[in-house]
Amino acid sequence: MAKIIDGKKISAAVRDGVKAEVEILKQQGINTCLAVIIVGDDPASKIYVANKERACEYTGIESRKYALPADTKMEDLLALIDELNNDKTVNGILCQLPLPKGLDEKRVIEAISPQKDVDAFCHENVGKIMTGEYDFLPCTPAGIMEMLAYEGIDPAGKNCVVIGRSNIVGKPMGMLLLHKNGTVTICHSRTRDLKEVTKRAEILVSAVGRANFVTADMVGEGAVVIDVGMNRDEQGKLCGDVAYDEVEKIASAITPVPGGVGPMTIAVLMKNTLTAAKRQNNLN
């Protein structure tokens, strides 16, 4: 039976670390603030934003929410971002994706100042990930690296396979594993013989977005399995990409859904906001 990698416990440790540092900044008269923009009524986005607000409250980070209607015009959204970029009391800015149809996500991402881009989505921050000289790392892959480190799982020399090549998860995940000396393969929908590739993985990360996508026959004995997927099963229950019950019999360690990668993503967002506040106040 696999060891369950407890994202709730590990993320609590990260959040407690942030909380302590936010308090130290407060004692120096520095307030840490995250501005969150949500456009429209997407129910999943509302839940994510509420979770982020809760994490801010816990860590002592001020959270400013800007809820805009679905028919918001691009120019108004860009004007708000511009205002927040120039607001010295705001350290981090995130715009919850996806945006309603008609709004240009790429323009919005690039409009956020790289120094306040706590999601690390803009070109400048993405480029820095390649060279390893970054201020912020994208929250989900960085959260996974924190989990591996916490569990003493060193990617060095290991076969690391990532399924999925999105800009926010798959590609940066591969890069972070590479920085830690993993031998990395990134798979996608055009990968031939996927099962043959995934079976060789000593660390397997799935970021596909399909329930029961990773089955036991795709996993090698003793692999570490990280499930990024957030899907709904036939009963409408939250589940990951991995067929958990069968895979946990083969894996040496596995992340559950819920309670795995999800809480880590939010904890790293708090960490990035703290980093932004420190940088903007010329502290390390």
| Residue 207 binds to ligand NAP (criterion: CB under 6 A) | yes
- Residue 207's alpha-carbon distances to 96, 155, 226, in angstroms, are 19, 18, 9
For the bound state, the minimum distance from the C-beta of residue 193 to ligand NAP, rounded and expressed in Å, comes to 11
| Residue 193 binds to ligand NAP (criterion: CB under 6 A) | no
| Residue 17 binds to ligand NAP (criterion: CB under 6 A) | no
214-273: contacts with ligand NAP (CB under 6 A): 228-231, 261-262, 265
Nearer to ligand NAP by Cβ, of 33 and 207: the residue is 207
| Residue 189 binds to ligand NAP (criterion: CB under 6 A) | yes
Between CA 8 and CA 5 the distance in angstroms is 9
Task: Count the residues of the shown chain that bind ligand NAP, applying the rule CB under 6 A.
Answer: 24
Nearer to ligand NAP by Cβ, of 140 and 275: the residue is 140
- Residue 181's alpha-carbon distances to 36, 128, 227, 254, in angstroms, are 35, 18, 21, 21
Between 43-59 and 7-27, two packed helices, what is the crossing angle to 10 degrees? 50
Computed on alpha carbons and rounded to an integer, the radius of gyration of the chain in Å comes to 19
3-state helix, strand, coil in the chain (%, to 5): 45, 15, 40
Q: Of these, 169, 197, 203, 250, which contacts ligand NAP (CB under 6 A)? A: 169
Catalytic residue among 116, 117, 119, 241: 119
Return the structure tokens found at 262: 């999800």
- Annotated catalytic residues are 52, 96, 119
Judged by the rule CB under 6 A, the positions of this chain that interact with ligand NAP are: 140, 163-166, 168-170, 187-191, 194, 207-209, 228-231, 261-262, 265
